[in-house]
A and B are shown apart, each in its own frame.
Chain A
Amino acid sequence: MTPWLRRQRALADYTLASLARRKGKNIALVAVYAIVVFVLASAMFFAASLRFETSAVLRDAPEVTVQKITMGRQDLIEGSVAEEIGKIRGVTSAKPRLWGYYYDRIVGANYTVMVPDDPEMIPEPGSVIVGEGIPRARGFKWSGAPLFLSRYEGDLKRFDVARAFESDSALMTSDLMLMNEADFRDFFEIPAGLYTDVVATVRNPNEVATIVEKGSNALPQMRFVTRSDIERTYQKLFDWREGLLAALAAAGILAFVIFAAEKASGLSAEEMREIGILKAVGWDTRDVIAMKLWEGGLVSLGAFLLGTVTAFAHVFFFGAPLFAPILKGWAVIYPDFALAPHVDGLELLTLALLTIVPYIAATLVPIWRVASGDPDAVMR
């Protein structure tokens, strides 16, 4: 070890002993600090996780979705539209899709019902393939139990569960129910030749804008939604919500900063005497500042770890119950899902800057003031 390292170690040792001697006060400080980190971290983790899930889902989504708009609302679309769009240069494929939502009144959950594209996934007539969330919601004890779906009072329709599938991204698949086309049309009473929407894939992503322009000219009553439009909309929504929560947390940070500055400048007579002794026995202003920075660093680190870990558990294991009222708006987008744990460096860096920087800023000047006392003060 170099003398520099040994000096740091000696200062850190002293700091640890000093923190331990004033347990009560320091635990209170770390607790308040950790709460601030917790609130901010919860908001950020939640938003970032949604962003991550959204882009994961959208990555496989088609570049362009075409919807029919009647009286300002989305309407069923004719299958022929797909053929017309397929003729536009640059479009590699255009397919009509059948999908919708089904509200399960028995358990109060929303399912996404879909006719799959992949022939392997198309179930036999009278049976369905479901995400693992559905048997779980229904409380099925054994595999092979039939699924009864009721569209309205007195209605009951029976499906056999061909199989249930599992998936990492709970966002889109755990509530998914796959049917074949005939069952779907029958179940939702949709006439032949009509579809929910049309999706198109494009050879070169840079040509999306041109294709949308051509399509809109040819089919003026259709709405063209591109993947990046959807992504942008979600991003903005999430950013805005996160920002709102962060602004709320900012008020908390401010209060905490005042609290911390107060604590750092209003040292007890005992602590002042200790620092006076250190200076008298040969510690320099720099040494005292370094020791105090160790203290601030250890407190920050403790609070940061505590706050982020509890926030992680709060959001990803318990579904952010404390913020339910504010976060509800998010949950509406995707009914009923669990967040996949996801944290990245950007978030942690932001979180650290937003919490540690104000704390250090609030305490540096008081620290310096304490550290720059006269070394001969304790001789009087």
Chain B
Amino acid sequence: MIFQTPIMALLLVAGLASLTALWSGGFAVQVLRRWNLADMSRAQLQRERATELVSTLFAAVMLAELAALLLFVFNADRMASLFVGAMCAVGTLNVNGYGFPALYLKIGVFFAATLWLMLDRADRMGRDYPLTKVKYGVMLAIVPLVLADAGTELAYFLNMHTDVITSCCSKLFTPANAGLANEMASIGPGMSLWLLGFAGLAVAVSGAVVLWSGRGALAYAFLSALMFALALTAVVSVIAPYIYEYPNHHCPFCILKPEYNYYGYALYIPLFLGTGLGVGAGMLSLFRNRESLADKLPAMIRRQVIWSMAGFAGFGLATLYAIASSNLIIFG
């Protein structure tokens, strides 16, 4: 265990999020069993009022988890100097087997909380709380995720030893090794840019269809998810090398460092935004036929699709700028 202030902050957030999740899970069970809007009793009124607390708590958890996600990566980067072999966040995350799972779970919790808040918002628009049962059913699935995140994070920090020699991005993200990271790195830069371009085009077309006809949000959601995967691949295989101006450095974390002007944030924030909103739009479109939402949900879906497209466009611009302003020449 390394005794450090950012680690304490991260564990604090994880602990509070777990407490919230446990309590909300208990409440969710109660809602699934007893929620009945026809019932005008005081108990039902109090359940309705408690949903306000749950929504507020989840919004707070989502914000805190977002901050924690940033801090987690930031801190991993800074701690790299403590471990032999670590040059950036990758090395720190590789110190033991819990690092990367903890990161993925954190990202998962953040997305899950965001999607849940979208459901919550949609639910509140209908006079009969049309999605309440769905919402709390989904909540029961999120609870284990939050707990797993806290547990993994704790295990990660408790098992951190400064005497281990870790392997960093230069070993992980090279075509020479086996594994997903290396496969991402070894996709040809041209191929990966073409794929990204096609995905971007597909997203734009599908988004236009949603805006124009109000249909096809589900397809848009799938394309958003695909775009996310291809964008991450492109970051590893081409965009990062352009930023480093070094064809063999593929690390998707070093671009977050101050040495590279925190350029990674300009890529990741719009990308996450675009993906979250896009997937959320698809999720919401599943409930478009609920009677009490029929007049409001399409507008919300459209807004999300617009913002999601703006997010992807932001990612695209950041990518183009990175390539245009780089001194590295890969093609030509």
Q: What B residues does A345 contact at CB under 8 A?
A: 74
Contact A358 B12 (CB under 8 A): yes
Contact B9 A354 (CB under 8 A): yes
Alpha-carbon distance between A254 and B227 when the two chains are bound, in angstroms:
45
Contact B8 A246 (CB under 8 A): yes
- Specify the chain B residue showing the minimal Cβ separation from A352: B67
Q: Which one of A31-39, A215-223, A235-243 is at the B interface?
A: A235-243
B63 to chain A, nearest CB (A): 9
Q: What A residues does B9 contact at CB under 8 A?
A: 349-350, 353-354, 357
- How many of B's residues come within 8 Å of A, CB to CB? 30
Contact B60 A350 (CB under 8 A): no
Tell which of A243, A286, A364 touches B5, judged by Cβ atoms closer than 8 Å. Answer: A243
- Specify the chain A residue showing the minimal Cβ separation from B83: A232
Alpha-carbon distance between A239 and B3 when the two chains are bound, in angstroms:
7
- Specify the chain B residue showing the minimal Cβ separation from A58: B81
Alpha-carbon distance between A250 and B13 when the two chains are bound, in angstroms:
14
B57 to chain A, nearest CB (A): 6
Q: Which one of B48-56, B138-146, B307-315 is at the A interface?
A: B48-56
- Specify the chain B residue showing the minimal Cβ separation from A288: B52
Contact A368 B12 (CB under 8 A): no
Mostly, the B contact residues are helix
Is A44 in contact with chain B by the CB < 8 A criterion? yes
Contact B12 A357 (CB under 8 A): yes
Contact A285 B71 (CB under 8 A): no
Contact A350 B3 (CB under 8 A): no
Is B22 in contact with chain A by the CB < 8 A criterion? no
Contact B12 A349 (CB under 8 A): no
Contact B56 A289 (CB under 8 A): yes
Contact B6 A350 (CB under 8 A): yes
Q: What A residues does B84 contact at CB under 8 A?
A: 228, 232
Contact A346 B12 (CB under 8 A): no
Contact A346 B71 (CB under 8 A): yes
- Specify the chain A residue showing the minimal Cβ separation from B49: A372
Contact B60 A346 (CB under 8 A): no
A238 to chain B, nearest CB (A): 10
In the complex, per-residue mask of B1-44: 1 if CB is within 8 Å of any chain A CB, else 0: 01111101110110010000000000000000000000000000
Alpha-carbon distance between A40 and B8 when the two chains are bound, in angstroms:
12
Tell which of A250, A285, A293, A361 touches B52, judged by Cβ atoms closer than 8 Å. Answer: A285
Alpha-carbon distance between A101 and B4 when the two chains are bound, in angstroms:
32
Contact A357 B64 (CB under 8 A): yes
Alpha-carbon distance between A40 and B57 when the two chains are bound, in angstroms:
26
Contact B5 A231 (CB under 8 A): no
Tell which of B6, B13, B49, B60 touches A364, judged by Cβ atoms closer than 8 Å. Answer: B60
- Specify the chain B residue showing the minimal Cβ separation from A229: B84
Alpha-carbon distance between A350 and B75 when the two chains are bound, in angstroms:
10
Q: What A residues does B57 contact at CB under 8 A?
A: 364
Alpha-carbon distance between A30 and B246 when the two chains are bound, in angstroms:
51
In the complex, per-residue mask of B75-89: 1 if CB is within 8 Å of any chain A CB, else 0: 100100110100000
Contact A55 B4 (CB under 8 A): no
Is A258 in contact with chain B by the CB < 8 A criterion? no
Is B261 in contact with chain A by the CB < 8 A criterion? no
Q: What A residues does B81 contact at CB under 8 A?
A: 55, 228, 231-232, 235
In the complex, per-residue mask of A359-380: 1 if CB is within 8 Å of any chain B CB, else 0: 0110011001001100000000
In A328-360, the 8 Å CB interface with B consists of 345-346, 349-350, 352-354, 357-358, 360
Alpha-carbon distance between A354 and B8 when the two chains are bound, in angstroms:
8
Tell which of A293, A354, A364, A365 touches B12, judged by Cβ atoms closer than 8 Å. Answer: A354
- A353 and B49 in contact (CB under 8 A), knowing A242-B4, A243-B8, A346-B74? no
Contact A353 B162 (CB under 8 A): no
Tell which of A236, A250, A365 touches B8, judged by Cβ atoms closer than 8 Å. Answer: A250
A343 to chain B, nearest CB (A): 14
Is B70 in contact with chain A by the CB < 8 A criterion? yes
Tell which of B50, B68, B78, B82 touches A346, judged by Cβ atoms closer than 8 Å. Answer: B78
Q: What A residues does B162 contact at CB under 8 A?
A: 232, 236
Contact A353 B3 (CB under 8 A): no
Contact B52 A349 (CB under 8 A): no
Q: What A residues does B5 contact at CB under 8 A?
A: 40, 43-44, 242-243, 246, 350, 354
A145 to chain B, nearest CB (A): 43
Is A244 in contact with chain B by the CB < 8 A criterion? yes
Alpha-carbon distance between A246 and B8 when the two chains are bound, in angstroms:
9
In the complex, per-residue mask of A272-295: 1 if CB is within 8 Å of any chain B CB, else 0: 000000000000011001000100
List 24 A-B pairs, Cβ < 8 Å.
Answer: A40-B5, A44-B5, A55-B81, A231-B81, A232-B81, A235-B81, A240-B3, A242-B4, A243-B4, A246-B8, A346-B75, A349-B70, A352-B67, A354-B5, A354-B8, A357-B9, A357-B16, A361-B16, A364-B53, A364-B60, A368-B52, A368-B53, A372-B50, A372-B53
Apart from A235-B82, A286-B52, what 6 extra A-B contacts exist at CB < 8 Å? A43-B5, A232-B82, A353-B71, A354-B5, A361-B16, A364-B53
